[in-house]
Amino acid sequence: MKKKKNLPKKLSHIIDTYGKDSPEYVIYKKRKRLRDISDIKEFLERLVGLVILLFVLFGLIFGLNIVSNDDMKPRLSSGDIMLYYRLNDRYQNDDVIVLKKDQTYVGRIIAQGGDTVDLNTLGNLKVNGNTIVEPNIFTPTKPYQNGAKFPIKLKKDEVFVLCDNREGSKDSRYYGAVELSEVKGKVIGVLRRNSI
């Protein structure tokens, strides 16, 4: 009685009218089986499609990354979610990029292939011999003791990046120039939840 109640209306109708040994019942069972199999197949196909779509979107075209420290303060804060675009073929100064060395870093491009970057202990940043005016940077740009040696002349496919927070941040002063093959993409959007 209880089991009967759970069965679909049509099936109980068939059992009532024709009985469990009737051809109608067997046909119904067969059709249900085929429908179940096709539903499962459809789900698996769409699941694979979704995974491929997500991979193309966020693995090949865009990328998502979470800012892990305050090196880019005040523009980016720890915990921000960055959306970056991977398919740029060239970058401009002032672009914020995600790059992969021994780990993933974020930084702002200061100079590009062919440029010469120099820093002194007073915290002046010079590119091609000219002091760079940076109205949105609030800390002096000093070289690190065990970091890169200045001046640095950039090779054709290299960029020099600095973080906006110049005190203690890990950027090209720490890991040296960045090859374009190490650049993962240009940050095009930020979603912030903390420290707004």
Partner 1 sequence: MDAMYLDRSAHAARIGNKLINIILSILMIILLLYGGFSLYSNYQINHNALGGNYLKYKPQNNAEGLAALMMKNKDVRAWLTIDHTHIDYPVVQGHYDYEYLNKDVFGDYTLSGSIFMSTTNNPHFQDPYTLIYGHHMEAGAMFGDIDKFLDRSFFEKNTKGKLYTLDHVYKITIFACVSCDAYDSHFYSQEAQVTKNLPAFEHYIQSKSVNYRAMNLKNGDRIIGLSTCADTKTNGRYILFGKLD
Binding footprint of partner 1 on the chain (CB under 8 A): 29, 32-33, 35-37, 39-40, 42-44, 46-47, 50, 53, 92-93, 111-112, 114-115, 127-130, 189
DSSP reduced 3-state for 106: strand
Residues 124, 84 contacting (CB under 8 angstroms): no
Shortest Cβ distance from residue 102 to partner 1 (Å)? 27
| Positive/negative CA dihedral, 65, 68, 71, 74 | positive
Cβ of residue 140: shortest distance to partner 1, in angstroms? 21
> Smaller CB distance to partner 1: residue 29 or 101?
29
CB of 58 vs partner 1, minimal distance in Å: 10
In the complex, the smallest distance separating the C-beta of residue 46 from partner 1, rounded to whole angstroms, is 5
Strands 96-100 and 183-191: antiparallel
Report the residue number, 94 or 167, with the smaller CB distance to partner 1. Answer: 94
Please, are residues 30 and 65 in contact by the beta-carbon 8 Å criterion? no
How many residues in total does the chain contain? 196
Residue 30 or 101: the one with the smaller Cβ distance to partner 1 is 30
Three-state secondary structure call for residue 182: helix
**Residue whose CB is less far from partner 1, 27 or 47:** 47
